[in-house]
């Protein structure tokens, strides 16, 4: 899967987004020819290489033939996009971004989204930014977008509604639920258009994901905030890795030397049935040389209270020890395979270094078939493992 990672080192805006995608190899001519399908007039596109604090990138500009600042409603913009000859995927992407903007603006101004009139983002240049971004993403073949935490900046910004705090109210609304990071930079690092692009497209946030990088692009911002002002994008193939997952678990333990062993066996079964991940008994020599058993139950933290009460109720212990530990688990799945004896479920875990699989047939399935067919249990096990190996090889897993 081809993915795009937005490294918002110093923020994101519509012109930075398009500049970065063009810098990464998307042809300007392809973007321009499709933007012409919108039927907008009185503008031209300009790109050129420039530098910001010593770092080179692409600056993207929409130049107006004359002063032009139209106020368009969300319905006006929808009609323009839907009535164009753009590819359906491009239309859908652009409409999603504008709808995010409409909902945010409607929320902060107390009006229905369909009645929102865009000022800054309703101008031709911002329509070009959003639709152009949608075109460029399709041209690059991007299927999924990831994003870094967004820098907020501080201070004020001059808008059609007057002086507003940074982030602007609509931008702040768009950023709800997304990770942000404070930076000591005075200025609007994330614009409403940039925030809407992230809100509509980003499928995940965090550091650079596992990927095979094919292109890198730098889109330069229009302002100088005293730091390199660029949006960096990485385009490439996502690496489908499945590392061992880290999980927090609870370990419950108690020593018992005065209980019928038959009851201990019963308690072990009941703990497993109640959600314990594993339970085992370890023979121990307790004080005064008395033989006993160490009962250990492994469980998720949310199950520890329930299982602890079960141990108190079912055994003679007066105390249970508890500790938290980390465990690492290989990614696993269950498959059903057909053997000469019948159907067996097999648990399959993939080794991280691709050295092979770890396979474990379900004991109860194998036991049942061994009894039904009157064959050694080990034979059913071997047949199930071989059938699972053939199935995995057949499907290229």
Q: Give 284-329 pLDDT, tens digit per residue.
A: 999 889 999 999 999 999 999 999 999 999 999 999 999 999 888 7
Mean pLDDT along residues 6-27:
96
Paired strand residues for 180: 150
pLDDT at 204: 87
pLDDT at 153: 85
Q: DSSP letters of 178-237?
A: S-EE--S-BS--B-HHHHHHHHHHEEEESSPPSEEEEEEEEEE-SS--SS--EEEEEEEE
Please report, rounded to a whole number, the percentage of residues in the chain having pLDDT higher than 70: 92
Mean of pLDDT values over 39-44: 86
Give the model's pLDDT for residue 354. 47
pTM of the model: 0.62
Residue 227 pLDDT > 50: yes
- Convert the pLDDT of each residue in 125-153 to its tens digit: 889 999 999 999 999 999 999 999 999 88
Whole-angstrom Cα distance, residue 245 to residue 27? 41
Does the structure show a pLDDT above 70 at 397?
no
Q: Report d(CA 319, CA 284) in Å as an integer.
A: 17
The larger pLDDT score, comparing residue 334 to residue 300, is at 300
In this predicted structure, the answer to whether residue 160 has a pLDDT above a threshold of 80 is no
pLDDT digits (tens, 9 = 90+) for 83-119: 999 999 999 999 999 999 889 988 887 887 776 766 5
- Lowest average pLDDT, out of 13-17, 70-74, 330-334, goes to 70-74
The answer, yes or no, to whether residue 356 has pLDDT greater than 70, is: no
Mean pLDDT for 377-390 is: 91
Residue 387 has pLDDT above 80, yes or no: yes
pLDDT at res. 18: 97
Q: What is the pLDDT of residue 125?
A: 81
What does residue 305 show for φ and ψ, rounded to 5 degrees? -65, -45
- DSSP letters for 246-313: EEEEEEEEEEESSS-HHHHHHHHHHHHHTT-SEEEEEEEE-GGG-EEEEEEEEE-GGGHHHHHHHHHH
pLDDT confidence band for 20 (50 / 70 / 90): very high
pLDDT in tens, 183-210: 889 999 999 999 999 999 998 888 888 8
pLDDT band at residue 270 under the 50/70/90 scheme: very high
Name the token pair of 106.
């409607």
- pLDDT attached to residue 43: 85
């Amino acid at each position: 899967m081809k993915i795009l990672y937005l490294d918002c080192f110093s923020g994101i805006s519509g012109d930075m987004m398009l500049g970065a995608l063009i810098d990464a190899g998307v042809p300007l001519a392809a973007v321009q020819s499709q933007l012409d399908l919108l039927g907008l007039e009185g503008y031209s596109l300009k790109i050129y290489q420039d530098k910001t604090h010593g770092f080179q990138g692409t600056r993207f500009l929409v130049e107006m033939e004359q002063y032009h600042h139209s106020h368009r409603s969300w319905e006006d913009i929808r009609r323009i996009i839907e009535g164009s000859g753009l590819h359906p995927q491009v239309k859908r992407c652009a409409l999603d971004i504008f709808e995010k903007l409409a909902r945010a603006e409607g929320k902060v101004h107390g009006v229905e989204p369909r009645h929102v009139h865009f000022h800054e983002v309703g101008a031709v240049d911002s329509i070009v930014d959003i639709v152009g971004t949608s075109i460029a993403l399709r041209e690059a073949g991007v299927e999924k977008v990831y994003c870094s935490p967004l820098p907020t900046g501080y201070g004020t910004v001059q808008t059609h509604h007057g002086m507003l705090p940074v982030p602007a109210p609509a931008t702040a609304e768009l950023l709800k639920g997304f990770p942000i990071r404070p930076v000591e930079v005075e200025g609007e690092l994330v614009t409403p258009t940039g925030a809407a692009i992230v809100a509509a497209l980003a499928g995940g946030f965090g550091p650079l994901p596992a990927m095979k990088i094919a292109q890198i692009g730098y889109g330069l911002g229009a302002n100088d905030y005293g730091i390199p002002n660029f949006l960096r994008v990485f385009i490439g193939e996502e690496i489908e890795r499945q590392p061992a997952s880290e999980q927090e678990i609870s370990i419950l333990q108690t020593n018992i030397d005065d209980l019928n062993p038959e009851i201990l066996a019963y308690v072990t079964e009941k703990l497993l049935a109640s959600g314990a991940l594993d339970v085992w008994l370890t023979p121990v020599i307790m004080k005064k040389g008395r033989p006993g058993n160490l009962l250990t139950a492994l469980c998720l933290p949310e199950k520890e209270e329930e299982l602890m009460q079960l141990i108190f109720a079912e055994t003679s212990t007066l105390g249970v020890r508890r500790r938290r530990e980390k465990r690492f688990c290989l990614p696993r799945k269950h498959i059903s395979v057909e053997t000469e004896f019948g159907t067996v479920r097999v648990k399959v875990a993939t080794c991280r270094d691709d050295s092979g699989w770890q396979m474990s047939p379900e004991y109860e399935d194998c036991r049942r078939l061994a009894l039904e067919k009157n064959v050694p249990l080990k034979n059913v096990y071997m047949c199930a493992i071989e059938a699972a190996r053939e199935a995995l090889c057949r499907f290229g897993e």
